[in-house]
Structure 1
Amino acid sequence: MAVDQLSAPLTKDQAYALVDAVMERDDLALTASAHENEETGEWFFEATCDSPPDVESFSELARLTLGGDVDFSVDAIDPEINWVARSLEGLAPVIAGGFYVYGSHETAPIPAGYTAMRIDAAQAFGTGHHETTTGCLEAIERTLKHRKPRNLLDVGTGTGVLAIALAKRLKTPVLATDIDPISVKTTAENAEQNGVGRLIIPLEATGLDHQTINRNKPYDLIVANILAGPLVQIAPGMGRVADHGAIVILSGILEHQAARVISAYSRQSMVLRQKIIKKDWATLILEKL
Protein backbone atom coordinates (compact mmCIF):
# COMPACT_ATOMS: atom_id res chain seq x y z
CA MET A 1 0.00 0.00 0.00
CA ALA A 2 1.37 3.43 -0.96
CA VAL A 3 1.59 5.82 1.97
CA ASP A 4 2.38 9.54 2.13
CA GLN A 5 3.33 11.88 4.93
CA LEU A 6 1.57 15.25 5.07
CA SER A 7 3.10 17.89 7.32
CA ALA A 8 3.08 21.59 8.22
CA PRO A 9 4.97 23.84 10.66
CA LEU A 10 2.60 25.19 13.33
CA THR A 11 2.66 26.39 16.91
CA LYS A 12 2.53 23.72 19.57
CA ASP A 13 -1.12 24.45 20.43
CA GLN A 14 -2.12 24.55 16.76
CA ALA A 15 -0.38 21.25 16.04
CA TYR A 16 -2.11 19.46 18.91
CA ALA A 17 -5.48 21.01 18.04
CA LEU A 18 -5.19 19.82 14.45
CA VAL A 19 -4.13 16.32 15.54
CA ASP A 20 -7.22 16.10 17.70
CA ALA A 21 -9.46 17.32 14.88
CA VAL A 22 -7.98 14.86 12.37
CA MET A 23 -8.29 11.90 14.75
CA GLU A 24 -11.95 12.73 15.35
CA ARG A 25 -12.46 11.58 11.76
CA ASP A 26 -11.76 8.20 10.24
CA ASP A 27 -11.37 9.22 6.60
CA LEU A 28 -8.31 11.48 6.51
CA ALA A 29 -5.28 9.82 8.08
CA LEU A 30 -3.89 6.55 9.35
CA THR A 31 -2.09 8.39 12.16
CA ALA A 32 -1.51 12.01 13.17
CA SER A 33 0.99 13.51 15.58
CA ALA A 34 2.53 16.75 16.84
CA HIS A 35 6.24 16.96 17.57
CA GLU A 36 9.01 19.45 18.28
CA ASN A 37 12.28 19.75 16.39
CA GLU A 38 14.76 19.52 19.27
CA GLU A 39 17.38 21.54 17.42
CA THR A 40 15.23 24.47 16.28
CA GLY A 41 12.34 24.33 18.77
CA GLU A 42 9.87 24.48 15.87
CA TRP A 43 6.66 22.44 16.13
CA PHE A 44 5.16 20.37 13.32
CA PHE A 45 1.90 18.65 12.55
CA GLU A 46 2.35 15.33 10.71
CA ALA A 47 -0.15 12.84 9.30
CA THR A 48 0.44 9.50 7.62
CA CYS A 49 -2.14 8.91 4.88
CA ASP A 50 -3.04 6.57 2.09
CA SER A 51 -1.55 7.94 -1.13
CA PRO A 52 -2.55 10.45 -2.36
CA PRO A 53 -3.78 12.37 0.73
CA ASP A 54 -6.87 14.56 0.46
CA VAL A 55 -5.02 17.85 0.89
CA GLU A 56 -8.13 19.96 0.27
CA SER A 57 -9.98 18.23 3.09
CA PHE A 58 -7.00 18.75 5.40
CA SER A 59 -6.93 22.43 4.40
CA GLU A 60 -10.64 22.83 5.05
CA LEU A 61 -10.35 21.16 8.45
CA ALA A 62 -7.37 23.36 9.31
CA ARG A 63 -9.37 26.49 8.45
CA LEU A 64 -12.25 25.35 10.65
CA THR A 65 -9.97 24.33 13.52
CA LEU A 66 -7.31 27.02 13.40
CA GLY A 67 -9.10 29.87 11.68
CA GLY A 68 -6.64 30.27 8.84
CA ASP A 69 -4.87 28.64 5.90
CA VAL A 70 -2.13 26.08 6.44
CA ASP A 71 0.57 25.30 3.87
CA PHE A 72 0.84 21.51 3.87
CA SER A 73 3.66 19.61 2.21
CA VAL A 74 3.40 15.98 1.06
CA ASP A 75 6.23 13.44 0.92
CA ALA A 76 6.10 9.81 -0.19
CA ILE A 77 7.06 7.19 2.39
CA ASP A 78 9.19 4.27 1.26
CA PRO A 79 6.88 1.22 1.62
CA GLU A 80 9.89 -1.04 2.18
CA ILE A 81 10.81 0.73 5.43
CA ASN A 82 8.96 0.40 8.72
CA TRP A 83 9.29 4.03 9.72
CA VAL A 84 7.59 3.47 13.06
CA ALA A 85 10.18 0.89 14.03
CA ARG A 86 13.07 2.96 12.66
CA SER A 87 12.01 6.04 14.59
CA LEU A 88 11.66 4.12 17.87
CA GLU A 89 14.59 1.71 17.75
CA GLY A 90 17.29 2.54 20.26
CA LEU A 91 14.93 4.24 22.71
CA ALA A 92 15.97 3.95 26.33
CA PRO A 93 13.96 1.75 28.68
CA VAL A 94 11.04 3.32 30.52
CA ILE A 95 10.33 2.98 34.23
CA ALA A 96 6.77 3.89 35.23
CA GLY A 97 4.61 2.72 38.10
CA GLY A 98 6.88 -0.15 39.04
CA PHE A 99 7.01 -1.38 35.42
CA TYR A 100 10.17 -1.59 33.31
CA VAL A 101 9.48 -1.41 29.56
CA TYR A 102 12.37 -2.13 27.21
CA GLY A 103 13.13 -3.11 23.63
CA SER A 104 15.02 -6.19 22.45
CA HIS A 105 17.98 -3.95 21.55
CA GLU A 106 18.50 -3.23 25.27
CA THR A 107 21.49 -5.12 26.73
CA ALA A 108 21.56 -3.75 30.28
CA PRO A 109 20.28 -6.07 33.01
CA ILE A 110 16.69 -5.62 34.15
CA PRO A 111 16.71 -3.81 37.51
CA ALA A 112 15.41 -5.76 40.48
CA GLY A 113 11.98 -5.07 41.86
CA TYR A 114 10.27 -4.08 38.60
CA THR A 115 7.75 -5.88 36.43
CA ALA A 116 9.58 -6.14 33.10
CA MET A 117 7.92 -6.03 29.68
CA ARG A 118 9.72 -6.33 26.37
CA ILE A 119 7.86 -4.21 23.81
CA ASP A 120 9.60 -3.58 20.49
CA ALA A 121 8.73 -0.83 18.05
CA ALA A 122 6.03 -2.05 15.68
CA GLN A 123 3.23 -0.91 13.40
CA ALA A 124 1.05 -0.19 16.42
CA PHE A 125 0.99 2.44 19.14
CA GLY A 126 2.51 1.84 22.55
CA THR A 127 6.15 1.22 23.44
CA GLY A 128 5.74 2.82 26.87
CA HIS A 129 7.56 6.02 25.97
CA HIS A 130 4.60 8.32 25.46
CA GLU A 131 3.21 10.25 28.44
CA THR A 132 -0.20 8.65 27.93
CA THR A 133 1.26 5.16 28.39
CA THR A 134 3.44 6.04 31.37
CA GLY A 135 0.43 7.79 32.90
CA CYS A 136 -1.64 4.62 32.50
CA LEU A 137 1.10 2.45 33.99
CA GLU A 138 1.28 4.74 37.02
CA ALA A 139 -2.53 4.69 37.30
CA ILE A 140 -2.49 0.88 37.18
CA GLU A 141 0.15 0.80 39.93
CA ARG A 142 -1.92 3.12 42.14
CA THR A 143 -5.07 1.09 41.57
CA LEU A 144 -3.49 -2.29 42.28
CA LYS A 145 -2.16 -1.07 45.63
CA HIS A 146 -5.74 -1.03 46.92
CA ARG A 147 -7.67 -3.45 44.70
CA LYS A 148 -7.33 -6.84 43.08
CA PRO A 149 -9.70 -6.74 40.08
CA ARG A 150 -10.60 -10.01 38.41
CA ASN A 151 -12.41 -9.09 35.18
CA LEU A 152 -10.20 -6.88 33.03
CA LEU A 153 -10.72 -5.02 29.74
CA ASP A 154 -8.18 -3.02 27.70
CA VAL A 155 -9.87 -0.91 25.00
CA GLY A 156 -7.61 0.26 22.15
CA THR A 157 -4.79 -2.01 23.23
CA GLY A 158 -2.22 -0.95 20.56
CA THR A 159 0.84 -3.11 21.26
CA GLY A 160 -0.83 -4.66 24.28
CA VAL A 161 1.50 -3.01 26.79
CA LEU A 162 -1.24 -2.19 29.34
CA ALA A 163 -2.92 -5.57 29.01
CA ILE A 164 0.43 -7.29 29.47
CA ALA A 165 1.17 -5.13 32.53
CA LEU A 166 -2.14 -6.18 34.09
CA ALA A 167 -1.70 -9.85 33.22
CA LYS A 168 1.82 -9.92 34.67
CA ARG A 169 0.78 -8.28 37.93
CA LEU A 170 -2.55 -10.04 38.50
CA LYS A 171 -2.01 -13.40 36.75
CA THR A 172 -5.54 -12.91 35.42
CA PRO A 173 -6.93 -13.00 31.85
CA VAL A 174 -7.30 -9.65 30.08
CA LEU A 175 -9.58 -9.00 27.12
CA ALA A 176 -7.51 -6.70 24.86
CA THR A 177 -9.45 -5.06 22.01
CA ASP A 178 -8.51 -2.82 19.12
CA ILE A 179 -10.13 -1.60 15.92
CA ASP A 180 -6.85 -2.23 14.05
CA PRO A 181 -6.07 -5.86 13.04
CA ILE A 182 -2.33 -5.09 13.06
CA SER A 183 -2.62 -4.05 16.71
CA VAL A 184 -4.49 -7.25 17.54
CA LYS A 185 -1.76 -9.34 15.90
CA THR A 186 1.00 -7.31 17.58
CA THR A 187 -0.66 -7.70 20.97
CA ALA A 188 -0.82 -11.48 20.58
CA GLU A 189 2.87 -11.61 19.61
CA ASN A 190 3.95 -9.35 22.48
CA ALA A 191 1.90 -11.35 24.96
CA GLU A 192 3.66 -14.56 23.88
CA GLN A 193 7.14 -13.08 24.13
CA ASN A 194 6.33 -11.73 27.60
CA GLY A 195 5.12 -15.09 28.86
CA VAL A 196 1.44 -14.15 29.23
CA GLY A 197 0.11 -15.44 25.91
CA ARG A 198 -2.42 -17.68 27.67
CA LEU A 199 -3.74 -14.71 29.68
CA ILE A 200 -4.21 -12.14 26.90
CA ILE A 201 -7.33 -12.46 24.72
CA PRO A 202 -6.76 -10.22 21.66
CA LEU A 203 -9.97 -9.15 19.94
CA GLU A 204 -10.62 -6.98 16.87
CA ALA A 205 -13.57 -4.79 17.83
CA THR A 206 -14.93 -1.33 17.14
CA GLY A 207 -15.80 0.39 20.39
CA LEU A 208 -17.68 -1.78 22.88
CA ASP A 209 -20.41 -3.18 20.66
CA HIS A 210 -19.05 -6.70 20.30
CA GLN A 211 -20.64 -9.92 21.55
CA THR A 212 -17.45 -11.10 23.28
CA ILE A 213 -17.13 -7.84 25.22
CA ASN A 214 -20.77 -7.93 26.24
CA ARG A 215 -20.78 -11.64 27.04
CA ASN A 216 -17.99 -11.18 29.58
CA LYS A 217 -19.26 -8.00 31.28
CA PRO A 218 -19.34 -6.47 33.84
CA TYR A 219 -15.68 -5.51 34.19
CA ASP A 220 -14.18 -4.28 37.43
CA LEU A 221 -11.14 -2.67 35.78
CA ILE A 222 -11.13 -1.03 32.33
CA VAL A 223 -8.21 0.80 30.72
CA ALA A 224 -8.51 2.82 27.51
CA ASN A 225 -5.59 4.80 26.12
CA ILE A 226 -6.96 6.23 22.88
CA LEU A 227 -8.01 9.86 22.19
CA ALA A 228 -10.42 12.30 23.81
CA GLY A 229 -12.97 12.26 20.98
CA PRO A 230 -13.34 8.47 20.79
CA LEU A 231 -13.38 8.26 24.59
CA VAL A 232 -16.35 10.61 24.71
CA GLN A 233 -18.10 8.62 21.97
CA ILE A 234 -17.75 5.29 23.78
CA ALA A 235 -18.69 6.64 27.22
CA PRO A 236 -22.24 5.14 27.12
CA GLY A 237 -20.76 1.76 26.20
CA MET A 238 -18.27 2.02 29.04
CA GLY A 239 -21.14 2.73 31.38
CA ARG A 240 -22.90 -0.42 30.22
CA VAL A 241 -19.97 -2.79 30.64
CA ALA A 242 -18.43 -1.37 33.85
CA ASP A 243 -19.45 -3.00 37.11
CA HIS A 244 -20.54 -0.96 40.11
CA GLY A 245 -17.38 0.06 41.92
CA ALA A 246 -15.26 -0.54 38.81
CA ILE A 247 -12.13 1.52 38.19
CA VAL A 248 -11.87 3.04 34.71
CA ILE A 249 -8.49 4.42 33.61
CA LEU A 250 -8.59 6.75 30.60
CA SER A 251 -5.75 8.42 28.71
CA GLY A 252 -4.82 9.86 25.32
CA ILE A 253 -6.31 13.10 26.63
CA LEU A 254 -4.70 16.52 26.33
CA GLU A 255 -4.99 18.40 29.61
CA HIS A 256 -7.39 20.97 28.19
CA GLN A 257 -9.69 18.14 27.00
CA ALA A 258 -9.96 16.45 30.40
CA ALA A 259 -13.05 18.38 31.56
CA ARG A 260 -15.01 17.26 28.48
CA VAL A 261 -14.10 13.61 29.05
CA ILE A 262 -14.87 13.79 32.78
CA SER A 263 -18.26 15.32 31.98
CA ALA A 264 -19.10 12.56 29.49
CA TYR A 265 -18.28 9.85 32.03
CA SER A 266 -20.06 11.59 34.89
CA ARG A 267 -23.26 11.02 32.89
CA GLN A 268 -22.45 7.31 33.18
CA SER A 269 -22.28 7.57 37.00
CA MET A 270 -18.47 7.65 37.02
CA VAL A 271 -16.62 10.06 39.29
CA LEU A 272 -13.03 11.28 39.06
CA ARG A 273 -10.82 9.85 41.78
CA GLN A 274 -7.37 10.93 40.57
CA LYS A 275 -5.78 12.81 37.67
CA ILE A 276 -2.17 12.25 36.58
CA ILE A 277 -0.63 15.03 34.48
CA LYS A 278 2.48 14.41 32.35
CA LYS A 279 3.53 17.34 30.21
CA ASP A 280 0.36 18.24 28.25
CA TRP A 281 -1.36 14.87 28.78
CA ALA A 282 -3.87 13.78 31.40
CA THR A 283 -4.62 10.28 32.67
CA LEU A 284 -7.89 9.93 34.56
CA ILE A 285 -8.77 7.38 37.24
CA LEU A 286 -12.56 7.13 37.52
CA GLU A 287 -14.85 4.98 39.66
CA LYS A 288 -18.28 3.71 38.61
CA LEU A 289 -20.81 4.37 41.38
Structure 2
Amino acid sequence: MSVDQLSVSLSKDQAYALVDAVSERDDLALTASAHEIEETGEWVFEATCDSPPDMDGFSALARQVLGGDVTFSVEAIDPEVNWVAKSLEGLAPVIAGGFYVYGSHSTDAIPEGLTPMRIEAAQAFGTGHHETTTGCLEAIEMILRRRTPRRMIDIGTGTGVLAIALAKRVEARILATDIDPIAVTTTIENARDNNVAEQIHSIEATGLDHPEIVDGAPYDLIVANILAGPLTDLAPGMGQIADSSGIAILSGILNTQADGVIAAYEAAGFSLVEHLKRKDWTTLVLRKH
Protein backbone atom coordinates (compact mmCIF):
# COMPACT_ATOMS: atom_id res chain seq x y z
CA MET A 1 0.00 0.00 0.00
CA SER A 2 1.37 3.42 -0.92
CA VAL A 3 0.85 6.35 1.43
CA ASP A 4 0.76 10.11 0.81
CA GLN A 5 1.01 13.07 3.16
CA LEU A 6 -1.06 16.20 2.54
CA SER A 7 -0.04 19.46 4.15
CA VAL A 8 -0.93 23.13 4.09
CA SER A 9 0.05 26.19 6.13
CA LEU A 10 -2.87 27.69 8.04
CA SER A 11 -3.55 29.70 11.17
CA LYS A 12 -3.56 27.73 14.41
CA ASP A 13 -7.36 27.84 14.73
CA GLN A 14 -7.83 26.84 11.10
CA ALA A 15 -5.40 23.93 11.39
CA TYR A 16 -7.13 22.55 14.47
CA ALA A 17 -10.58 23.06 12.94
CA LEU A 18 -9.57 21.11 9.85
CA VAL A 19 -8.05 18.31 11.97
CA ASP A 20 -11.33 18.10 13.89
CA ALA A 21 -13.37 17.92 10.68
CA VAL A 22 -11.12 15.31 9.03
CA SER A 23 -11.13 13.19 12.19
CA GLU A 24 -14.91 12.96 12.05
CA ARG A 25 -14.63 11.36 8.60
CA ASP A 26 -13.66 7.71 8.16
CA ASP A 27 -12.92 7.99 4.45
CA LEU A 28 -10.35 10.77 4.05
CA ALA A 29 -7.25 10.14 6.15
CA LEU A 30 -5.41 7.59 8.25
CA THR A 31 -4.22 10.33 10.62
CA ALA A 32 -4.56 14.12 10.84
CA SER A 33 -2.60 16.55 12.98
CA ALA A 34 -1.70 20.21 13.46
CA HIS A 35 1.66 21.45 14.68
CA GLU A 36 3.73 24.60 14.96
CA ILE A 37 7.08 24.99 13.23
CA GLU A 38 9.26 26.36 16.02
CA GLU A 39 11.68 28.20 13.75
CA THR A 40 8.98 30.27 12.02
CA GLY A 41 5.94 30.11 14.30
CA GLU A 42 3.94 28.88 11.31
CA TRP A 43 1.14 26.35 11.84
CA VAL A 44 0.73 23.38 9.50
CA PHE A 45 -2.10 20.93 8.94
CA GLU A 46 -0.98 17.42 7.92
CA ALA A 47 -2.92 14.32 6.93
CA THR A 48 -1.60 10.86 6.07
CA CYS A 49 -3.72 9.10 3.46
CA ASP A 50 -3.92 6.01 1.34
CA SER A 51 -2.78 6.79 -2.20
CA PRO A 52 -4.21 8.40 -4.15
CA PRO A 53 -5.79 10.83 -1.67
CA ASP A 54 -9.26 12.20 -2.29
CA MET A 55 -8.24 15.72 -3.22
CA ASP A 56 -11.78 16.73 -4.15
CA GLY A 57 -12.99 15.54 -0.77
CA PHE A 58 -10.29 17.45 1.11
CA SER A 59 -10.92 20.60 -0.92
CA ALA A 60 -14.68 20.45 -0.33
CA LEU A 61 -14.22 19.90 3.40
CA ALA A 62 -11.74 22.78 3.62
CA ARG A 63 -14.21 25.10 1.89
CA GLN A 64 -16.95 23.99 4.28
CA VAL A 65 -14.86 24.39 7.44
CA LEU A 66 -12.62 27.32 6.52
CA GLY A 67 -14.85 29.18 4.12
CA GLY A 68 -12.41 29.27 1.21
CA ASP A 69 -10.19 27.30 -1.13
CA VAL A 70 -7.03 25.65 0.21
CA THR A 71 -4.09 24.42 -1.88
CA PHE A 72 -2.65 21.23 -0.39
CA SER A 73 0.82 19.94 -1.17
CA VAL A 74 1.18 16.16 -1.53
CA GLU A 75 4.25 14.07 -0.80
CA ALA A 76 4.69 10.31 -1.09
CA ILE A 77 6.03 8.73 2.12
CA ASP A 78 7.40 5.33 3.02
CA PRO A 79 4.45 3.10 4.05
CA GLU A 80 6.78 0.81 6.02
CA VAL A 81 7.48 3.58 8.55
CA ASN A 82 5.08 4.09 11.46
CA TRP A 83 4.88 7.86 10.99
CA VAL A 84 2.64 8.36 14.01
CA ALA A 85 5.20 6.71 16.29
CA LYS A 86 8.13 8.40 14.56
CA SER A 87 6.63 11.84 15.08
CA LEU A 88 6.18 11.16 18.80
CA GLU A 89 9.49 9.52 19.62
CA GLY A 90 11.20 12.66 20.89
CA LEU A 91 8.37 13.97 23.05
CA ALA A 92 9.27 14.87 26.60
CA PRO A 93 7.44 13.36 29.60
CA VAL A 94 4.19 15.02 30.66
CA ILE A 95 2.98 15.83 34.18
CA ALA A 96 -0.80 16.23 34.51
CA GLY A 97 -3.15 15.61 37.41
CA GLY A 98 -0.51 13.93 39.51
CA PHE A 99 0.39 11.53 36.69
CA TYR A 100 3.77 11.28 34.99
CA VAL A 101 3.41 10.05 31.39
CA TYR A 102 6.60 9.01 29.61
CA GLY A 103 7.93 6.81 26.82
CA SER A 104 10.69 4.22 26.97
CA HIS A 105 12.98 6.68 25.17
CA SER A 106 12.88 9.00 28.21
CA THR A 107 15.97 8.91 30.44
CA ASP A 108 14.62 11.32 33.05
CA ALA A 109 14.16 10.10 36.61
CA ILE A 110 10.52 9.65 37.61
CA PRO A 111 9.66 12.40 40.12
CA GLU A 112 8.59 11.32 43.58
CA GLY A 113 4.92 11.68 44.45
CA LEU A 114 3.65 11.19 40.90
CA THR A 115 1.92 8.15 39.40
CA PRO A 116 4.06 6.94 36.47
CA MET A 117 2.58 5.62 33.22
CA ARG A 118 4.75 4.39 30.36
CA ILE A 119 2.83 5.04 27.15
CA GLU A 120 4.66 4.29 23.92
CA ALA A 121 4.11 6.20 20.68
CA ALA A 122 1.76 4.10 18.58
CA GLN A 123 -0.86 4.13 15.85
CA ALA A 124 -3.47 5.24 18.37
CA PHE A 125 -4.31 8.56 20.01
CA GLY A 126 -3.22 9.37 23.54
CA THR A 127 0.37 9.85 24.70
CA GLY A 128 -0.57 12.47 27.27
CA HIS A 129 0.80 15.40 25.28
CA HIS A 130 -2.40 16.74 23.76
CA GLU A 131 -4.45 19.22 25.79
CA THR A 132 -7.48 16.90 25.63
CA THR A 133 -5.55 14.12 27.38
CA THR A 134 -3.95 16.36 30.00
CA GLY A 135 -7.37 17.88 30.66
CA CYS A 136 -8.84 14.42 31.23
CA LEU A 137 -6.00 13.41 33.56
CA GLU A 138 -6.54 16.57 35.61
CA ALA A 139 -10.28 15.87 35.72
CA ILE A 140 -9.66 12.26 36.82
CA GLU A 141 -7.44 13.50 39.65
CA MET A 142 -10.16 15.95 40.68
CA ILE A 143 -12.89 13.30 40.75
CA LEU A 144 -10.81 10.65 42.55
CA ARG A 145 -10.23 13.11 45.39
CA ARG A 146 -13.99 13.23 45.92
CA ARG A 147 -15.12 9.65 45.30
CA THR A 148 -13.94 6.12 44.56
CA PRO A 149 -15.71 4.79 41.45
CA ARG A 150 -16.26 1.05 41.09
CA ARG A 151 -17.81 0.66 37.63
CA MET A 152 -15.81 2.56 35.01
CA ILE A 153 -15.69 2.74 31.22
CA ASP A 154 -13.25 4.52 28.89
CA ILE A 155 -14.90 5.13 25.52
CA GLY A 156 -12.51 5.76 22.61
CA THR A 157 -9.59 4.53 24.69
CA GLY A 158 -6.84 5.09 22.06
CA THR A 159 -3.60 4.03 23.75
CA GLY A 160 -5.48 3.23 26.96
CA VAL A 161 -3.83 6.12 28.82
CA LEU A 162 -6.99 7.17 30.70
CA ALA A 163 -8.01 3.62 31.56
CA ILE A 164 -4.47 2.97 32.83
CA ALA A 165 -4.58 6.15 34.91
CA LEU A 166 -7.77 4.94 36.56
CA ALA A 167 -6.38 1.45 37.13
CA LYS A 168 -3.27 2.91 38.76
CA ARG A 169 -5.41 4.79 41.29
CA VAL A 170 -8.47 2.56 41.84
CA GLU A 171 -8.52 -1.17 42.57
CA ALA A 172 -11.37 -1.98 40.18
CA ARG A 173 -11.86 -3.19 36.62
CA ILE A 174 -12.22 -0.77 33.74
CA LEU A 175 -13.86 -1.49 30.40
CA ALA A 176 -11.89 0.24 27.60
CA THR A 177 -13.54 0.44 24.18
CA ASP A 178 -12.53 1.75 20.76
CA ILE A 179 -13.76 1.46 17.18
CA ASP A 180 -10.18 0.83 16.02
CA PRO A 181 -8.73 -2.68 16.53
CA ILE A 182 -5.21 -1.19 16.61
CA ALA A 183 -6.24 0.92 19.61
CA VAL A 184 -7.59 -2.17 21.36
CA THR A 185 -4.33 -4.03 20.82
CA THR A 186 -2.29 -1.00 21.90
CA THR A 187 -4.35 -0.63 25.08
CA ILE A 188 -3.83 -4.28 25.98
CA GLU A 189 -0.07 -3.95 25.45
CA ASN A 190 0.19 -0.71 27.44
CA ALA A 191 -1.91 -2.14 30.28
CA ARG A 192 0.47 -5.09 30.46
CA ASP A 193 3.53 -2.81 30.41
CA ASN A 194 2.06 -0.78 33.28
CA ASN A 195 1.18 -3.87 35.36
CA VAL A 196 -2.58 -3.25 35.26
CA ALA A 197 -3.55 -5.83 32.63
CA GLU A 198 -5.83 -7.70 35.06
CA GLN A 199 -7.85 -4.55 35.69
CA ILE A 200 -8.43 -3.45 32.09
CA HIS A 201 -10.65 -5.26 29.62
CA SER A 202 -10.39 -3.74 26.13
CA ILE A 203 -12.86 -4.44 23.34
CA GLU A 204 -13.64 -3.20 19.84
CA ALA A 205 -17.02 -1.49 19.89
CA THR A 206 -18.88 1.16 17.93
CA GLY A 207 -21.33 3.22 19.94
CA LEU A 208 -22.72 2.04 23.27
CA ASP A 209 -24.88 -0.94 22.36
CA HIS A 210 -22.16 -3.62 22.53
CA PRO A 211 -23.37 -6.40 24.90
CA GLU A 212 -20.37 -6.01 27.21
CA ILE A 213 -21.02 -2.27 27.54
CA VAL A 214 -24.70 -2.87 28.28
CA ASP A 215 -23.98 -5.68 30.75
CA GLY A 216 -21.49 -3.53 32.64
CA ALA A 217 -23.90 -0.62 33.15
CA PRO A 218 -24.70 1.45 35.08
CA TYR A 219 -21.30 3.16 35.33
CA ASP A 220 -20.39 5.59 38.07
CA LEU A 221 -17.52 7.01 35.99
CA ILE A 222 -17.45 7.42 32.20
CA VAL A 223 -14.46 8.92 30.41
CA ALA A 224 -14.53 9.70 26.69
CA ASN A 225 -11.83 11.64 24.88
CA ILE A 226 -13.05 11.53 21.29
CA LEU A 227 -14.59 14.40 19.28
CA ALA A 228 -17.45 16.85 19.78
CA GLY A 229 -19.61 15.35 17.03
CA PRO A 230 -19.55 11.74 18.27
CA LEU A 231 -19.85 12.90 21.89
CA THR A 232 -23.00 14.82 21.02
CA ASP A 233 -24.45 11.81 19.18
CA LEU A 234 -23.67 9.56 22.16
CA ALA A 235 -25.31 11.85 24.75
CA PRO A 236 -28.66 9.98 25.00
CA GLY A 237 -26.85 6.65 25.32
CA MET A 238 -24.49 8.08 27.91
CA GLY A 239 -27.52 9.08 29.96
CA GLN A 240 -28.78 5.51 29.79
CA ILE A 241 -25.55 3.79 30.88
CA ALA A 242 -24.63 6.29 33.63
CA ASP A 243 -25.46 5.61 37.27
CA SER A 244 -28.02 7.89 38.91
CA SER A 245 -25.22 10.14 40.18
CA GLY A 246 -22.55 9.01 37.75
CA ILE A 247 -19.78 11.26 36.48
CA ALA A 248 -18.85 11.78 32.82
CA ILE A 249 -15.48 13.25 31.83
CA LEU A 250 -15.59 14.34 28.19
CA SER A 251 -12.92 15.82 25.95
CA GLY A 252 -11.80 16.14 22.35
CA ILE A 253 -13.89 19.32 22.28
CA LEU A 254 -12.79 22.66 20.90
CA ASN A 255 -13.69 25.58 23.16
CA THR A 256 -16.02 26.84 20.46
CA GLN A 257 -17.91 23.52 20.52
CA ALA A 258 -18.33 23.25 24.28
CA ASP A 259 -21.75 24.91 24.59
CA GLY A 260 -23.27 22.51 22.08
CA VAL A 261 -21.91 19.45 23.89
CA ILE A 262 -23.05 20.78 27.27
CA ALA A 263 -26.56 21.35 25.92
CA ALA A 264 -26.74 17.80 24.53
CA TYR A 265 -25.72 16.30 27.87
CA GLU A 266 -28.06 18.52 29.88
CA ALA A 267 -30.86 17.18 27.69
CA ALA A 268 -29.66 13.65 28.53
CA GLY A 269 -29.91 14.27 32.27
CA PHE A 270 -26.46 15.60 33.17
CA SER A 271 -25.46 18.84 34.84
CA LEU A 272 -22.14 20.62 34.39
CA VAL A 273 -19.68 20.32 37.30
CA GLU A 274 -16.42 21.64 35.81
CA HIS A 275 -15.37 23.23 32.53
CA LEU A 276 -11.60 22.98 32.05
CA LYS A 277 -9.95 24.90 29.22
CA ARG A 278 -6.45 24.08 27.99
CA LYS A 279 -5.45 26.32 25.09
CA ASP A 280 -8.08 25.74 22.35
CA TRP A 281 -9.50 22.60 23.96
CA THR A 282 -12.20 21.88 26.54
CA THR A 283 -12.64 19.06 29.05
CA LEU A 284 -16.06 18.77 30.68
CA VAL A 285 -16.98 17.11 33.95
CA LEU A 286 -20.70 16.38 34.24
CA ARG A 287 -22.89 14.60 36.82
CA LYS A 288 -26.02 12.58 36.11
CA HIS A 289 -29.04 13.73 38.09
Per the TM superposition, whether the score is higher than 0.5 is: yes
Per-residue deviation, 1:31:
2.0
Distance 1:140 1:93 in 2: 19
Deviation at 1:208, TM superposition (A): 1.0
> How high is the sequence identity, in percent, across the aligned residues?
70
Match of 1:58 in 2: 58
Query: Over the residues paired in the alignment, what is the CA RMSD in angstroms?
Result: 1.1
List aligned pairs for 1:55-94, cutoff 5 A: 55-94=55-94
Equivalence for 1:254? 254
> 1:94 and 1:193 mapped to 2: Cα distance?
18
In the other structure, the counterpart of 2:206 is 206
Residue 21 of structure 1 and its aligned partner are, at CA, apart by 2.0
> Match of 2:281, as an amino acid?
W
Match of 1:286 in 2: 286
Supply the distance in 1 between the matched residues of 2:35 and 2:92 (Cα, whole angstroms).
Answer: 18
Q: How many residues align?
A: 289
State the distance in 2 between where 1:91 and 1:14 align.
24
Worse overlay, 276-285 or 32-41: 32-41
Structure 2 letter corresponding to 1:126 = G
Look up the SS of the partner of 2:275 in the other structure: strand
Deviation at 1:83, TM superposition (A): 1.3
| 2-structure distance, mates of 1:105, 1:67 | 42
The residue type paired with residue 287 of structure 2 is: E
Shift of 1:82: 1.3
Q: 1:47 & 1:164 partners in 2: Cα distance?
A: 28
**What are the equivalent positions in structure 2 for 1:231-242 lying under 5 Å apart?**
231-242=231-242
**Cα separation, 2, equivalents of 1:120 and 1:130:** 14
Which residue does the alignment assign to 2:14? 14
Q: For residues 243 and 131 of structure 2, what CA distance do their matches in structure 1 show?
A: 28
Query: Bigger CA drift: 162-171 or 230-239?
Result: 230-239
Residue aligned with 2:184, SS: helix
How far off its partner does 1:230 sit? 1.2
Gaps of 5+ in 1: none
Per-residue CA distance 1:41-92 (angstroms, 9 max, x = gap): 1112211212111001111111222221110111122112111111111221
Q: Deviations over 1:111-145 (max 9, x none)?
A: 11111111111111111111111110000000000
| AA of the residue aligned to 2:206 | T
**Deviation of the 1:179 alpha carbon:** 0.5
Task: Report SS of the residue matched to 1:166.
Answer: helix
CA distance in 1, matches of 2:201, 2:76: 36
SS at 1:109 equivalent? coil
Aligned to 1:113: 113
Aligned equivalent of 1:32: 32
Deviation at 1:11, TM superposition (A): 1.7
CA separation in 2, counterparts of 1:16 and 1:85?
20
Superposed, 1:176-255 pairs within 5 Å as 176-255=176-255
Residue 122 in 1 paired to residue 122 in 2?
A: yes
Question: What amino acid maps onto 1:185 in structure 2?
Answer: T
Measured after TM superposition, the shift of residue 166 of structure 1 is 0.3
CA displacement at 1:155 relative to structure 2: 0.3
TM-score scaled by length of structure 2: 0.97
Q: Where do 5+ consecutive residues of structure 2 fail to align?
A: none
1:130-149 equivalence runs, <5 A: 130-149=130-149
Amino acid at match of 2:111: P
Measured in 2, the distance between the counterparts of 1:177 and 1:51 equals: 29
What is the CA–CA distance in structure 1 between the aligned matches of 2:129 and 2:84, rounded to whole Å?
Answer: 13
C-alpha distance in 2 between matches for 1:241 and 1:28: 32
1:259-274 equivalent positions in 2, closer than 5 A: 259-274=259-274
CA deviation after TM superposition for structure 1 residue 3, in Å: 2.1
* Alignment-mate amino acid for residue 228 of structure 1: A
